[in-house]
Amino acid sequence: MERKEAAKLIETKTNAVFKRDITYDTNYLVATEFNTSKAKKAAAIGVAIISEKDMLRYIDKGKFPVNSKPTRPVRDYSYLFNWEKNIKFYDLLKPIIIHFTYVDSKKEKSERMLQVNAVGKYGDRFYFAGFCEDEYKTFRSDRMLIHDMFDKKNNKIKYDPEITLEGHDEDGVIEKLVILTTKKI
């Protein structure tokens, strides 16, 4: 059965919602092959994998059985704030949103949006920390090619290769942080 046809049947004849991606909010993966990357990911995070035959049986019944979604791993984010004694993090007084392309250590590029809540400083290197794709992540500023910046009200901020942000450290001391960023795209 074609994916579009299966999606239409699931959406119109059952209590389920069809999604293309596997996440921790997925109850079932319908798979015809079990050695695909999607099936491997589903198995790795604990999503129930069913056959097309099972899916058709649930469609005939008008509903998928209730099962528990996979359990999200508990992540310890304390390492973001204390990698080493000489890294200092500052919580921003006015968080910003950055639209950027990130170049990782393998030189692979990915376009992202980050709500920056904190900035870490290690020597001359800065790390932006905040929420990206519903996860708290950090990004090295020297690997970010910035497209646009916005304040929390989605007002565009004029780009400047020298970003000045105000933040307070764990003792509440407010400092101005001047961050040199990679060229704007």
Same-domain status, 97 and 173: yes
Does some domain include residue 25?
yes
Residues 6+ apart with CB under 8 A from 120: 80, 81, 83, 87, 88, 89, 90, 126, 127, 129, 138
Does some domain include residue 71?
no
Cα(80)–Cα(170) distance, integer angstroms: 13
**25, 41, 42, 106 from 37: Cα distances, Å:** 18, 6, 9, 21
Share of the chain above pLDDT 70, in %: 78
Q: Which token pair is 84?
A: 């080493």
Same-domain status, 90 and 155: yes
What local confidence, expressed as pLDDT, does residue 147 receive? 81
Same-domain status, 83 and 164: yes
pLDDT at 20 over 50: yes
Q: How far is CA 20 from the centre of its chain?
A: 17
Cα(18)–Cα(30) distance, integer angstroms: 10
Does some domain include residue 129?
yes
- Over the chain, what is the mean pLDDT? 79
Does some domain include residue 19?
yes
Does some domain include residue 35?
yes
Residue of 107, 147, 149, 157 lying closest to 130 (CA atoms): 149
pLDDT at 123 over 90: no
Cα(77)–Cα(83) distance, integer angstroms: 10
Same-domain status, 40 and 91: no
pLDDT tens per residue, range 128-170: 888 887 788 888 888 888 888 777 666 777 666 667 777 776 6
Same-domain status, 28 and 106: no
Name the one residue in this structure whose structure tokens are 């001047």.
178
Same-domain status, 114 and 170: yes
Same-domain status, 134 and 170: yes
pLDDT at 183 over 70: no
What local confidence, expressed as pLDDT, does residue 42 receive? 85
Q: Which domain holds residue 27?
A: 3-61
Same-domain status, 39 and 87: no
What local confidence, expressed as pLDDT, does residue 83 receive? 47
- Max CA separation in the chain (angstroms): 63
Same-domain status, 50 and 90: no
Question: Looking at the 3D structure of the chain, how many domains does it have?
Answer: 2
Does some domain include residue 45?
yes
Same-domain status, 42 and 132: no
What local confidence, expressed as pLDDT, does residue 185 receive? 43
Does some domain include residue 67?
no
Same-domain status, 94 and 39: no
